[in-house]
Amino acid sequence: MNSKRSFVTIANLSREKIMHLIGMAQEFEKCPNRKILDNRVVATLFFEPSTRTRLSFETAANRLGARVIGFTDPKVTSSTKGETLKDTIMMVSNYADVIVMRHYLEGAARYASEVSPVPVVNAGDGANQHPSQTMLDLYSIYKTQGTLDDLDIFLVGDLKYGRTVHSLLMAMRHFNPTFHFIAPKELAMPEEYKAYCREQHIRYVEHEDFNADIIAGADILYMTRVQRERFTDLMEYERVKDVYILRASMLKQARPNMKILHPLPRVNEIAYDVDNDPHAYYFEQARNGLFARQAIICDVLGITPEDMALQQIC
Amino acid sequence: MKRQELMVAAIENGTVIDHIPSNKLFQVVRLLHLEQLKSAVMVGYNLPSSKMGLKSIIKVNGKFFSDAELNTLSVVAPNVTLCIIKDYEVVEKKCVTLPQVITGIVKCANPKCITNNEPMATRFHVSDGEAGIIRCDYCEKEQPLENVKIV
């Protein structure tokens, strides 16, 4: 089967593979429209809605010249009639050259990659993995800092349930980072990830405070949403809900190279007055998703940078 | 030993699985599919044991299991003793060892795991052999062996 070519998790990617994908994303940014996938079909199977991720993947496929089939709502598919995931994957793989799949169950992407004769790209499987988000985060960090090595990365907000921060932490293990975990006690970085940092010799510091003095040490400030429904103690939520809001006034001592990232959607954790600050990068970050996903789709189909160069039509 | 031999009859040829924690006895029966055997199987339940307080024992006549079959027992009862019997004599004693990959035996504790929602075999890797922690290959959640449920 094609599980080796599939893109299921970020955890097992080598430094070389990450840099290879970043290199491809850079090429796509220079010239996003390349008819590399002319006559190919990309299936986007979204078993749960995720508009931004789907639009990003479908735009990536379209700009590569592929045609896109799929569904955005499983209610219209045979899964409501009791069809298994395996049967859906086997059916779609008769039609498509690559399957991009979002699923609400954890491990669905791994299983799909094991049964599918065509490569599978994980566009998020429940609370487990969302590796294309991590790839675009890595690309954004690389683009803004000129390197992934030796950076001070500050993760802020919900570090307990936020899968993007967990995946980013694992992917950065190759690059000698120093992490700062800034979160309320109830949403602190889980022990298993701190143990992972210790095993991998990743330095980390924990804070509960979030202020200008702390931000002054960051190269990357990665914000996440503190959600009310995550708290068992609502008094605690009321106490901390305004602590983890980033405001423009907190950026006065920030390093010139510091950039603010956020996986979006934001609600109120970044005040609107930050949007015009030169440190704000979250909208460009989302745009980088297009190039990162073009790189991922091409890589699972075995397309090399040399193939890309031949198809430059911008 | 004498007392125990009296309580569960000796077998001529076959396998004795001893020192089974009594609360794991029926899981051992299920793992080895003993209910499907045609040969004689003797089960001693809640027998006195100097080491364990109470233990269980299974004697299977005329049946020799493969190492892979026996190693599945390590998932629920890692300290069982296995005796291979020929002509009423113990010819070999074995311990079970935890396999690195555990396929189709253990149920994943995560209700949102694909393995609990799709007709498929589960698969775990041992992430910490000493602490007895296994990790689901699909949802990547870890769980301790002492709490596992058999599929």
Across the interface, whether the CB atoms of A105 and B114 are under 8 A apart is answered yes
- CATH classification of the domain holding A189: 3.40.50.1370
Are residues A157 and A260 both part of a single domain? yes
pLDDT tens over chain A, length 314 residues: 444 589 999 988 999 999 999 999 999 999 999 999 999 999 999 999 888 999 999 999 999 999 999 998 877 777 777 899 999 999 999 999 999 999 999 999 999 999 999 999 999 999 889 999 999 999 999 999 999 999 999 999 999 888 899 999 999 999 999 999 999 888 899 998 999 999 999 999 999 999 999 999 999 999 998 877 777 888 888 888 888 999 999 999 999 999 999 999 888 899 999 999 999 999 999 999 999 999 999 999 999 888 887 776 66
Mean pLDDT computed over B115-140: 94
Angle, vertex CA A298, rays to CA A295 and CA A300, nearest 5? 105
- Chain B CB contacts of A86 under 8 Å are 118, 120
The pLDDT score that the predictor gives to residue A237 is 85
The pLDDT score that the predictor gives to residue A3 is 45
Across the interface, whether the CB atoms of B118 and A111 are under 8 A apart is answered yes
B138 at interface of A, judged by CB pairs closer than 8 A: yes
Across the interface, whether the CB atoms of B140 and A126 are under 8 A apart is answered no
Q: Which residue among A11, A106, A129 places its CB closest to the CB of B114? A: A106
Are residues A149 and A111 both part of a single domain? no
For residues A132 and A124, what is the distance between their CA atoms, to the nearest angstrom?
A: 8
Q: Is the dihedral of CA B78, B81, B85, B91 positive or negative?
A: positive
Are residues A111 and A179 both part of a single domain? no
State the total domains in chain A: 2
> Residue A211: which residues within 8 A CB-CB, separation 6 or more?
A250
Are residues A165 and A206 both part of a single domain? yes
Q: Which domain holds residue A155?
A: 131-286
B127 at interface of A, judged by CB pairs closer than 8 A: no
For residues A212 and A124, what is the distance between their CA atoms, to the nearest angstrom?
A: 34
Are residues A234 and A112 both part of a single domain? no
Are residues A194 and A213 both part of a single domain? yes
Are residues A280 and A297 both part of a single domain? no
User: Backbone phi, then psi, for B70, in 5-degree steps?
Assistant: -70, -35
Which structural domains are found in chain B, ordered by start? 14-96 (3.30.70.140), 101-150 (2.30.30.20)
Whether A31 is in a domain gets the answer yes
> Residue A183: which residues within 8 A CB-CB, separation 6 or more?
A155, A156, A157, A158, A159, A160, A189, A206, A208, A244
Whether A299 is in a domain gets the answer yes
Looking at beta carbons, which pairs linking A79-85 to residues 24 or more positions away fall under 8 Å? A79/A47, A84/B118, A84/B119, A85/A111, A85/A112, A85/B114, A85/B118
Whether A33 is in a domain gets the answer yes
Catalytic residues of A: 52-53, 81, 102, 130
- The amino acid that residue A40 corresponds to is R
Mean pLDDT computed over B111-126: 96
Are residues A210 and A197 both part of a single domain? yes
The pLDDT score that the predictor gives to residue A231 is 78
Are residues A10 and A59 both part of a single domain? yes
Q: Which of residues B25 and A2 earns the better pLDDT score?
A: B25
The 3-state secondary structure of chain A, one letter per residue: CCCCCCECCCCCCCHHHHHHHHHHHHHHHHCCCEHHHCCCEEEEEECCCCHHHHHHHHHHHHHCCCEEEEECCHHHCHHHHCCCHHHHHHHHHCCCCEEEEEECCECHHHHHHHHCCCCEEEEEECCCECHHHHHHHHHHHHHHHCCCCCCEEEEECCCCCCHHHHHHHHHHHHHCCEEEEECCHHHCCCHHHHHHHHHCCCEEEEECCCCHHHHCCCCEEEECCCCHHHCCCHHHHHHHCCCCCECHHHHCCCCCCCEEECCCCCCCCECHHHCCCCCECHHHHHHHHHHHHHHHHHHHCCCCHHHHHHCECC
Among chain B residues, the shortest Cα distance to A128 is held by B139
Whether A314 is in a domain gets the answer no
Q: Which residue among B113, B120, B142 places its CB closest to the CB of A106? A: B113
State the complex-level ipTM.
0.88
Are residues A107 and A149 both part of a single domain? no
The pLDDT score that the predictor gives to residue A2 is 44
The pLDDT score that the predictor gives to residue A312 is 66
Percent of chain B with pLDDT over 90: 70
The pLDDT score that the predictor gives to residue A119 is 98
Q: Which residue among B117, B119, B140 places its CB closest to the CB of A105? A: B117
Are residues A228 and A299 both part of a single domain? no
A48 at interface of B, judged by CB pairs closer than 8 A: no
The pLDDT score that the predictor gives to residue A186 is 85
Are residues A274 and A138 both part of a single domain? yes
Whether A297 is in a domain gets the answer yes
For residues A314 and B17, what is the distance between their CA atoms, to the nearest angstrom?
A: 72
For residues A229 and A181, what is the distance between their CA atoms, to the nearest angstrom?
A: 21
- Chain B CB contacts of A113 under 8 Å are none
Single out the residue of A105, A106, A93, A91 nearest to residue A6, CA to CA.
Answer: A93
